[in-house]
Chain A
Amino acid sequence: MLNKSHAKTETVQESASPLRLNLICALNCEAKSLIDKLRLKKQNQTVFSTYVGHWGVADQSVLVTVLITGVGAMSMAAGVAWLAAVQNEKYLNSVWLNVGTAGHGEFKLGAPFIVSMSQGVFSSRRFYPPQVARRAVRLSPCMSLNAPSSDYPETGGIDMEASAFFDVACRFTQAELVQSFKVVSDTPSQGIEHLTANIIAEIMQPHTEAVLVFSKALLLLAENAVQKPNNELVMPQIRATHSQRQQLNDRAKRLAFSLPAEKIDHLSSELLRLSQSVSDEKKAANLLLNYLDTAILNLQPTLHDSLASATQKHAQSRITQHGVG
């Protein structure tokens, strides 16, 4: 018989992660209007300058981080990797938005655009960020150079960070949630000579709302990225190998998604009872696995229930497409 105190319980599914928005800028002046608007607080003693806070979107609280990486591909890559390491992997569906200025051969000064294709000078790799979130600004390709330039492509933009940003940020979340929002700061007729920190902040300021609207569209997608069960199956703590634990988790997840709350509760107590009744600790995992397998075998979906739960899930999705809360 297992010692009762040994039969602790653990929750199999992790609880729903909050939504997270990472706004990545090369320069402080590019981020200033966002930091002010969202009333973010500067973090002390971090490797890179970061500002954090909560943004209320509908009735959800989104964790926002503005990261200032410094200029150039290396700084951007290091900054993004650092932030991803500091945040932990449970934010697998974080939104990563690069916000900054760019030169452009065709668009006017102050025009905003979302990067449709990004390529760095040292790599043949091109990034085409999937355009799923609704956008209200135009698309444009953007070439990332390793130094400021007044040589503008006929139809695209130039910057120094986007390509490194995509290369690194895409490793930490879904590609659809990694985007770059640029505002044209220099053109063939108005080159980079006129740019100061104040001017850049002024160029960015009118687009604060547009950045937030686009962020919100991305958060709406992030919210849809992964479903978590409404109910959690509580698994007794037992001795199990890694593979047994994986199998138990898999079965528990299926059942948590498929059964109503009261049945999940009943199942949780049954599992606890079973784990306590077994005399040989090593057999507990197999016993629970068999029990869960039988429960799965007996699942018989009814369309009436599944339609009702789909409607409920839909109603629970609270971030809507329009307007910033």
Chain B
Amino acid sequence: MLRCEGLLKRFNVGTPDETMLFDGFDFEAEQGDFVSVIGSNGSGKTTLLNLICGSLPLDGGKITFGGRDITRMSEHKRAAMIGRVFQDPQKGTCANLTILENMALADNKKGLFGLTGAVNKKRIEYYRTLLEECGMGLENRMNTPAGSLSGGQRQALALVIANMTDIELLILDEHTAALDPKSSETVMRLTDKLVSGKKITTLMVTHNLRYALEYGNRLLMMHMGRSVMDLRGPEKKNAKIEDLLKTFNEISIECGN
């Protein structure tokens, strides 16, 4: 499904600070995989997601998606098949537009952005049911600008928006990190509901080891641009927080709860 082969990524090329983050990084995920990605700060998790989404250019290597070579495809073209929620709640929605307008735009992701009315009144009921599933009362605030929602509400909305059209890959980068424990828990449960409902291939970066173990069928641990642990199936199911900490005890990871 998703294959990264021999990824090369350097930063600050041509300066004394030049660093090689990925030097031949390989990774592959099967259709329907839900991969939790953990690792210390600076281990390259966000960069990996940026390379997959095309937000950063590669210095070498190849990325294929569903058999198609997307190495040279622009970020917005790839986005047709990708849904993405960022750590920063500001990024996933448009603050100056209302919840309804945000959803209407997202609903049209596969359509044309022409001169027809932006909000289709017939779809509002459908949007409402999507929002009801978040359990945050957003369905009663559809004309509120997204910018006036709390972090947790915005992340839940961003998650719904990312999943509104049929996507093949969901990319979550510490999407619960900026939230209080309760909202974080809610957003995580919503994530699981959306992902397991549609069996979307998902990469989820998290600093919360409990989430990493509880959710998903695979666990990838990264360190300094390399994969140092890749657990699947029963191995992943039976893994304990202590095991993860032992493998990685020289690196400080914030332990969830």
Is chain B found bound to chain A in the same assembly?
no
Which residues does A use to contact B, with CB under 8 Å?
Answer: none
